[in-house]
Each structure stands twice: as structure tokens, then as C-alpha cells.
Structure 1
Amino acid sequence: MKLPTELHSLAKKVLQLEAEAIQGVAAALDERPDFAQCVEAILARRGRVVVTGIGKSAHIAGKMVATFNSTGTPALFMHAADAIHGDLGMIQADDFVIAISKSGDTPEIKVLVPLLKRKGVPLAALVSNADSYLAQQADYILHAPVTREACPHNLAPTTSTTAALALGDALAVCLLESRDFSRQDFAGLHPGGTLGKQLYLKVGDLSRQNQQPQVSESAPLRDIILEISGKRLGATAVLNEAGELVGIITDGDLRRMLTAHAGRLDEVRARDILTPGPVTVEVDDFAVEALARMQARNITQLLVTEQGRFSGFIHLHDLLREGLV
């Protein structure tokens, strides 16, 4: 068993090797025009991007497909071995195929490529060896050069799969940008879970479920306490005679007031203890923006406005309930 310091050094070495591999892929982009041409060719197709591979490359292909689908590029995974046993039928005339193989010379790939060529669909080769059989047969070469694996025996796919994965991500992001794929588009494809809520949940969706504690500037202390206590949000908005928001009074303001105004509590009015210029958020802002403002100011509630007028409150508990915290 290696010592903790040895394991730490080994882990850093692996990460360094993989980082260098990605830098090598970035440098290789300058050597040939295929990457940009590949992006343009995919955008010109009306079908899906079919990504194939075998072994560890198949796992990378699956991840690429997931990323493509979630960022606006319809995609399918096809295992290279299964393709020659019926799965080739998933490829349609207007599809685009990306084949992933470090060597580009595996037996399965050599069997598959002629069948793909017979289909007449464009083929991109994501390879480490740009002189391989796959690269020579492909219409586009996505070059991910790797000099050695991070595996000490230079056998287990490590740096090569990392390089392929990174290049696949670069391809997906370029397609995303080229399609003007927006935050709203992304939300439409990710409606579930915390990620979905971050992308579509609005402040108004939560604040409308809460009560709307509010008092006038001239409200006496008794009314302020009843409003805060009765509506259970820990604060109340303060409005002027025109119904405009002028401040906020919180539980903390009440406690501080007891010290500052001791002996003359019957004279206290809302205007005497409010905090002017409170932090607000609009009903149409995303809920995550409300969370960011609370965290930045270390507060637990925000006043909500609609076109500048008081609309209600959003509380940290609302965000906790939705799993955003």
C-alpha cells in the first residue's frame, strides 16, 4: 500500500497528464480545418448525429450523445459491435455519423466503416491517430492526439478518453452557440430536478403562495407587531399614502427598537423604525436570482415588486422547499 503522500503525488501526475492531453487537442485544432467544417456539416443536416464506438470509446460516445441532446442537437448512440448486427438500421439518410476510436484501426471499426460509406452519410472520425484507417475513410477528422495514457502501463484508456470527451464537449458547445440555443431552450429540455427549477422557476411562482404583510408609514407599533406575527414572514412592507414601497420592518428592527425607544413605545410609528430602500426582486426574475441576493446580503427574505410596486415576499424557506439551496 502506498503512503498518502505517494498517492497524492500519483493523483496529481494523472491529472497533469490529462490536462496536457487536452492542451494538445486544443493545439491540434490549428493544424486542420476539419473541426469547423464538421460543425457546419452537422448544422446543414436535418437528421440526427449518430455517435458510435466500442469499449471505453462507446462510453464516451454515450456521454457525447447525452450532451448533444441536452443542448439542442438531436443525437443517438450506436454501439459499433451492435451496428453490424442490426442497429445500423437506426441511421437515416440525413443523419451524420461520428465514430470514436483511439487507434482508428480496431476490427469492429474496419467492418463498420464500409457499411457506413454504403449508407452515404457523412462520417467524422474522432481519433488519436490521424493516419489510421478510420481517419483515412472519414470525411472529417476530429483529431485528439495523445502520446501516452495516464495508466502506468500505457494500456488503460485514460488520457485518450479524457481528450475525446473534451473534444466532444467543444463540438457540442460550438453547435449550441451556432444554433443560438438560449437559456429558455435549455430549460425546455431540463424541466425536472433542481437544474430545471433553476432555469424556469420564477420569483412570482413562490411569492404568490405567501401572504403580503404591509403597513402604512403611520402605523403604530401594535399594528406592526400584529402584521409581522400574523403573517409569519418575519417582516412587513411599509407603504406610503400613494401605495408606494418606502421600506421594510423586520423582527430584528423590532428588537433594536425596544432599546432605542424604551419608555415611549406608544409614540413609535412605522416611519420611525423602517429600513428605507429595501432590497427587492421582481416577480419575473428567476428564483435563483432571489437566492443570490439573499446570500450576498446575508438576509432571509426579499420584498417582491411587480413593475416597481409592492407585490409580496419571497423567503429563504420557499427556496429551501424547492431544493434550490
Structure 2
Amino acid sequence: MKAQTDITSIGKKVLLQEAEAIRGVAEAIGQTGDFQDCVRTILGLHGRVVVTGIGKSAHIAGKMVATLNSTGTPALFMHAADAIHGDLGMIQPQDFIICISKSGDTPEIKVLVPLLKRLRVPMAALVANRDSYLALQSDFVLHTPVEREACPHNLAPTTSTTAALALGDALAVALLESRGFSSQDFAHLHPGGTLGKKLYLKVGDLSRQNQTPRVPLDARLAEVILEISGKRLGATAVLDGAGQLQGIVTDGDLRRMLSNFAPERLAQVRAQDIMTPGPVTIDVEEFAVEALARMQERNITQLVVTEAGRFLGFIHLHDLLREGLV
């Protein structure tokens, strides 16, 4: 069994080799106009991008389809082996085909390509060999110039699949930016899970579920304690006679008060005596993830929610934890 240091060096060698391959792909897309022309053609489509491959290339094709769909480019996966058994019917006249193959010369590709050509739709070859059968038969060549796999036997698809994956990401992002695809567009396509919540969940969506603890400036200590305890948010807002926010009293303020006021003075303590003036606030229309960032920055567990400067309520760290944003 190899020593730990040998295992580490093997891992580093693979990663550096694959990183070098990606640098080669980056240089290759600037050597011809195929990448740019491919992006422009897809932007002008009225159909979908159909991505196909076989073996490990099929897995890369599936990931590329997922990325394209999630970034605003309608896409479908078609397994190259299934294509010749009926799946060619999914390709429509307004579609665009991307065929992934390292060599571009496998028997399956040589069977499939003539069938794809009959459909008379534009086709791009994502290949390592620009002189391959697939490349020569395609309208565009997305070149991944990988000479050797990271596998010591130069057999297992490693470097080549990494390069193809990276070029697929470059294609998706180029399309995304060319379309002006925004974070809000992304949110519409990812409504579920933490990612979607970060992009669309707003402070008001959470704060309106909470109670709104508040006391006047001259509220006695007992009233302040009852308000904090009863509303279960660990704090209460302090408002003036016009309903404007003047400060906040937290559990921590109450504990600090006990060391600052003699017991005989507690009956005279008012909210204004122990409040923290100018509390940290957040607008009701801000994204909830911004509330989290503000809490982490100030090392606090709640924010006062306002609208045009008017007190609305609170958002608490527990609200964010419940939504899985922490």
C-alpha cells in the first residue's frame, strides 16, 4: 500500500494535470470562431439544444443539459445508443445538436452522425480530435485538446471529461451573459431548496409570521420584561409617542441593567433608561440572506424590520435557521 505522502502527491498530480488541460481548452476557444459562432447560433434558436454522447460522455452531456436548462437555455439529453432506436424523434427542425466524444471516431459515433445529418439541424462536435470523423462532419467544433488522461494507463476518462465539462460550463455561461440572464431569472427556475430561497425569500416573508413586541419610552421595567417574554423574540422595540422607533431592549440589556442599577431603583427604571438607541434595522423588502449577513457582521440574533423608516416587527436568527439559510 502506498504511503500517505505518495497518495497526496498522486492527488495533486491529477488535479494539476486537469487544470492544465482546462487552460488548454481556454486557449483553444480563441483560436477559431467556432465557440462564438456556436453561441450566436444557439441564441437565435427557436428550439432546444439537444446534447448527446455515449459512455462517460453521456454523463457529461446530462450535466451540460442540466446547466443549460437552469441558466435559461432549453435543452434535452439524448443518449447516443438510444438515438438509433427511436429517440431521434425528439429532435425538431428548430433544434441544435451538441455531440460529445473524445475521439470522435468510435463506431457508435460513425453510425449516429449520418442519422443526425439527415435531420438538417446545426450540429457542434465537442471533441479532443479536430481531425476526427465527428469534427469533420459537424458545423462547429468545440475543441478540447486533451492529449493524455490523468489515469496512469491513459485509459480511464478523467482529464478529457473534466475538459468537456468545463467547456460545457463556458458555453452555458456565455449564453447566460449574452441573454442578460439575471439572478431573479435564476430564482424563477430554482424556487426550491436553499439556493432558491437565497434568491427570492425576503425579510417580510419571515417577519410577518412573528409577533411585534413594542413598548413606549416610559414603559416600566415590568412591562418591558412581560413584552419580551410574551412575544418570545428576545427583544422589544421602544417607540415614541408618534410611533417612531427610538431603540431596542434585548435580553442582554436586561441582564446588564441588573449590574448597573441598585435594587431599590428598579421600580423607577423605564424603557428609555436601558434601551440601545439606533438599533440595527433592515427594510422589509430586503432579501432574507442579507438579514443573515447583517446579523453575522454585528454578532446579533435579531433585526428590527422597517418600511420607509416605520417599525414593522422583527426578524430573528431562528427564522433563518428554520428556512435552512444558515
Q: CA deviation at 1:206?
A: 0.9
Q: Hey, what's the Cα distance between the residues in 1 that align with 2:215 and 2:207?
A: 18
Please report the RMSD computed on the Cα atoms of aligned residues, expressed in angstroms: 1.0
Aligned twin of 1:293: 294
Q: How does 1:35-54 map to 2 (within 5 A)?
A: 35-54=35-54
Q: CA deviation at 1:254?
A: 0.7
Q: Hey, what's the Cα distance between the residues in 1 that align with 2:279 and 2:142?
A: 54
Q: CA deviation at 1:225?
A: 0.9
Letter of the 1:270 partner, please give it. Answer: A
Q: Hey, what's the Cα distance between the residues in 1 that align with 2:85 and 2:227?
A: 72
Q: Hey, what's the Cα distance between the residues in 2 that align with 1:158 and 1:65?
A: 20
SS in 2 for 1:248: strand
| TM-score normalised per structure 1 | 0.98
Letter of the 1:271 partner, please give it. Answer: Q
Deviation sequence 1:140-169 (CA, Å, 0-9, x none): 111111121100101100000000000000
Deviating 4+ runs (over 2 angstroms): none
Aligned twin of 2:111: 111
SS in 2 for 1:31: coil
Q: Hey, what's the Cα distance between the residues in 2 that align with 1:30 and 1:176?
A: 19
Aligned twin of 1:312: 313
SS in 1 for 2:304: strand
Aligned twin of 2:324: 323
Aligned twin of 1:176: 176
SS in 1 for 2:156: coil
SS in 1 for 2:29: helix
Aligned twin of 2:138: 138
Quote the sequence identity (%): 77
Question: What runs of 5+ residues in structure 1 fail to find an aligned partner?
Answer: none
SS in 2 for 1:5: helix
Q: Hey, what's the Cα distance between the residues in 1 that align with 2:279 and 2:145?
A: 56
Kindly tell me the number of residue pairs found equivalent between the two proteins. Answer: 325
Q: Hey, what's the Cα distance between the residues in 2 that align with 1:322 and 1:114?
A: 51
Q: CA deviation at 1:288?
A: 1.2
Q: CA deviation at 1:266?
A: 2.1
Letter of the 1:55 partner, please give it. Answer: G
SS in 1 for 2:157: coil
Aligned twin of 1:272: 273
SS in 2 for 1:103: coil
SS in 2 for 1:226: helix
Q: Hey, what's the Cα distance between the residues in 2 that align with 1:104 and 1:268?
A: 82
Question: What runs of 5+ residues in structure 2 fail to find an aligned partner?
Answer: none
When structure 1 is superposed on structure 2, of 261-270 and 244-253 the one drifting more is 261-270
Q: CA deviation at 1:267?
A: 2.2
When structure 1 is superposed on structure 2, of 259-268 and 161-170 the one drifting more is 259-268
Aligned twin of 1:23: 23
